[in-house]
Amino acid sequence: MRLYLFTGCRRSEILNLMWKDVDLERGILFLPDSKTGKKPVILSPQTHAILSSRTRIGKYVIAGAEAGTKDEKPRSDLDRPWKAVTERAGLTKLRLHDLRRTYASIGAGGGQGLPIIGKLLGHKNVTTTQRYAHLDTDPMRRVTNFIGNHIDRAMGGANGEAAAD
């Protein structure tokens, strides 16, 4: 789940991730078949640490029950662990896919451009990224305060406080 959160990848991209597609030296995952085709995923230091610390059992990063056997398959889902995490956190209405949206929203809220966020997520169209990147009120409040203070100073207000009407 931490890989999901720190990469913004889709569930299937994480579950089907193979060690042969992980380049820790260059800090990139090379996904051969994402929803939108081939996709490189740039690793954050946190993601690099997660992958570096994993024990390699078999060919999949998220090993299934048959790991290391000739019938090896990736883990089929994350439903049980996700349910345990959300119940413990008291967030029972949160979906696993919401982590992908959170990744986009944090980038947008931090002032990162939608085209770059979209490229990181593997979106072909910026309008898709716009639907993902919901802004929390904190970044919007910072921007509206900045704009209001700037206008107020231009109108002669002192220290960002509103001038009298």
Q: In whole angstroms, give the CA distance from residue 146 to residue 61.
A: 45
pTM above 0.75, yes or no: no
Q: In whole angstroms, give the CA distance from residue 146 to residue 141.
A: 8
Which whole-number Å values give the CA distances from 78 to 15, 25, 75, 125, in the listed order? 8, 28, 8, 28
For residue 161, name the pLDDT band (cuts at 50, 70, 90): low
Q: Which class would CATH give 1-90?
A: mainly alpha
Q: Which tens digits make up the pLDDT trace of 81-126?
A: 899 999 999 988 888 888 888 888 888 877 787 888 888 887 777 7
Q: Which tens digits make up the pLDDT trace of 41-57?
A: 889 999 999 999 998 98
Give the pairing of strands 22-23 and 37-42: unpaired
Say how many CA atoms lie within 13 Å of 27 toward its Cβ.
Answer: 8
